[in-house]
Structure 1
């Protein structure tokens, strides 16, 4: 039985929201998963201002003070311990989930692959 960590859509049209789930590879996208690991909201959000938010910041490129513009973010909520468990027992992440796991520091690739080495070479083969 091949197990995948993938996205399952659960929202309305034009308002995407996904569950990060563990499911069998041959099951449908929105079928009942084995476990829900977290959620992913791909809509970029702007953080709310607080008392500590500066009005202006120094821009090293122009050497001037410029108005502060907060960075937008995409919300990812993930249960790290359960995700590490499923990766440890051999669950394969989909491409989108794999990119998220790399960003969060949970995925380095399989041993002996070019992705794991970070050099573009496969172990045992050199140019």
Structure 2
């Protein structure tokens, strides 16, 4: 698949990635170059999104050993349960994988007609 600015923007939305206001693609998890590689190696946009979510899950997997909560004096900090974030990322990858395989809901079937010319006197 060939990457364009519109396709890159759509993939960024499917991956729930947003360039911060006043920022660049370098401020996100997926730079434009990374998105282009995902797009070029995929059969369609949903396949690229599924691979992107798997890569997000891999990043989360690396952080699962991080401290879940800590306390400094009277202040206590808790982090998000990364196992839930990992499960959500893998579920999104699974969702987009199923969209790669399924025909669109507005897809029409096809049929073949065999027309015979009538015998004219």
Q: TM-score per shorter chain, which class?
A: under 0.3
- The answer to which structure has the higher strand fraction is 1
Point out the structure with max Rg over C-alpha: 2
What TM-score, normalized by structure 1, do the two folds share? 0.23
What TM-score, normalized by structure 2, do the two folds share? 0.24
- The answer to which structure has the higher helix fraction is 2
